[in-house]
Amino acid sequence: MRYFPLLLLFISFLAAKTPLENTTCKACHPIIFAEYQHSQHAKASIWNDPVHKAVWDKHPNKEQGKYTCAKCHTPSDHSLKGGRGVPAGNTVQKDEPISCQGCHRIESIEEHVHANRNVIQAKPKYFYSADAKRKGEKVIFHETSSFFGLFKKTTGSPYHDIDYGNDLFYTGKMCLGCHDHKQNGKGFALCDLGVKQGDSNATCISCHMPQKPGTMVNLKHTATHASHDMTIHRGTLAELSRYIKLSLKPASQGFTITLHNEATHTLFAQPLRVAQLRVSIHRDGKTTVLPPRQYVRVIGTQGKPSMPWLADTVLKDTSIKALETREEHFDTVLKKGDKVEIVLGYYLVNPKVAGKLGLEGDVSTAFRVLTKKVVEF
């Protein structure tokens, strides 16, 4: 019986083993791992995202040591669960605030008024994924041997099991635990994507994680993989531009630009964002820039803009909703030979707010072009 305590200690050690880290995933998924390094998921913490840090530095919870953003911004840092403590500059915060398993272990989404919640399944090394050809299949690692162990055959991955049966990974709703809506402590909706599927077949996955050349895994070659550079702010603007349609119709008293949002959610729903439609007319070697049309959701309190945790009302909302068509009329009369350049873009941080957050001159304040079109007459 003297070995029994050692057996208990060994079992406890196995149960307490650190979950798979992204460095483990890198061995078999090097292309996806490399893309992840540039994604917003890899840069979600205050140590990697200057906008998130700027807001956190002014948040009253910082002085109280209550970091309530961890559920979505740094779920991999388990020391912060339940709003305990504040983010430390550890490797998890800096290298994988939202790790691979942080998404691939989402079993279901609980819908709540304040904010949705990701339900993480408890099985170790058990991940969900999507493959239309294998939907419903579960690939469990299995090893068989023959001829007294001289020949071995394995099925599945030696590092984790794969479940292709979770509908969330086909509909894209796995993303809505964090990206659907959020209320502040006053019960006021800070942001709401206003998802409206309509007749569209587009999902979070099909739009934000398009298929790109390159194998998904080294153990089995695939021609393409789902891009994991998940951000409209870096690598996928060109892909996302196809969901915004711009057109121009001249009239005797000017012209009208029609903007059709084919995305199934509000464009730039976060209150810090601001989008602009910029129009310039090139005529006889000269360029005339027309006043931009702005799309923004301004929140505040007592009739004035305020920080998110203080806001209790919407002061202005001109944001473009899901599947909405917006028309903008301009009084300038067009002439033959005119070239009209139409640009739809946005700021990560409203220039009027950037100074208050100490972000002036930061890359976050640059104007990003989402899509543009040139019409010649």
Please give the Cα distance from 198 to 18 (Å, whole number): 43
Retrieve residue 53's tokens. 């840090």
Query: 4-13, 90-99, 106-115, 200-209: which has the minimum mean pLDDT?
Result: 4-13
Which domain, by its residues, includes 324? 238-376
Model confidence at 3: pLDDT above 50: no
- In the prediction, which pLDDT does 78 show? 87
Separation between Cα atoms, residue 151 and residue 153, nearest integer Å: 7
Confidence of residue 233 (pLDDT cuts 50, 70, 90): low
Number of domains, the chain? 1
Neighbouring residues of 39: CB distance < 8 A, sequence distance ≥ 6:
228, 229, 230, 231, 234
Percentage of the chain with pLDDT > 90?
72
Residue 112 lies in a domain: no
Is the predicted pLDDT of residue 2 greater than 50, yes or no? no
User: Distance between CA atoms of 243 and 237, rounded to whole angstroms?
Assistant: 10
Within-domain flag for 278: yes
Mean pLDDT (whole number) for 63-83: 88
Q: What is the pLDDT of residue 18?
A: 42
In this predicted structure, the answer to whether residue 138 has a pLDDT above a threshold of 50 is yes
Q: Which two tokens stand for residue 133?
A: 């050809």
Burial of 250 from C-beta contacts in 10 A (0-12 / 13-18 / 19+)? middle
Amino acid at 188: F
Of the two residues 229 and 347, the one the predictor is more confident about is 347
Give pLDDT tens digits for 190-213: 999 999 998 898 999 998 998 999
Q: State how far the Cα of 47 lies from the Cα of 67, in Å rounded to an integer.
A: 14
The answer to whether position 343 is within a domain reads yes
Cα 249-253-254 angle, rounded to 5 deg: 45
**How far is the C-alpha of 322 from the C-alpha of 336, rounded, in Å?**
35
* Nearest to 267, CA basis, from 211, 189, 344: 344
- Over range 110-137, report the average pLDDT: 94
pTM for the model stands at 0.86
From residue 316, how far is each of 140, 225, 294 by CA, in Å? 52, 41, 11
Rounded distance, CA 219 to CA 211, Å?
19
Residue 344 domain-assigned (yes or no):
yes
**Token pair recorded at residue 123:** 């099985």
Domain annotation covers residue 84: no
What is the pLDDT at residue 232? 65
Q: Lowest-pLDDT range, 12-16, 57-61, 134-138, 294-298?
A: 12-16
**Is residue 255 predicted with pLDDT exceeding 90?**
yes
CATH number for the domain that contains residue 260: 2.60.40.10
CB contact set of 172 (below 8 Å; sequence gap of 6+): 203, 204, 205, 206
Residue 289 included in any domain: yes
Q: Which residues contact 108 (CB under 8 A, 6 or more apart)?
A: 119, 168
One-letter amino acid identity for 71? Answer: K
Q: Which pLDDT belongs to residue 20?
A: 44
Q: 107-121, pLDDT tens digit by residue?
A: 999 999 999 999 999
Q: Residue 178 falls within a domain, yes or no?
A: no
Give the mean pLDDT of 156-183. Answer: 93
pLDDT of 89 above 70: yes
Amino acid present at 137? E
Distance CA(240)–CA(54), nearest Å, equals 27
Contact (CB, 8 A) for 212 and 34: no
pLDDT given at position 264: 95
Residue 156, pLDDT score: 78
- Whether residue 210 is contained in a domain is answered as no
DSSP letter (8 states) at residue 175: G
Rounded Cα gap, residues 197 and 205, in angstroms: 14
Query: What is residue 5's predicted lDDT score, i.e. its pLDDT?
Result: 42
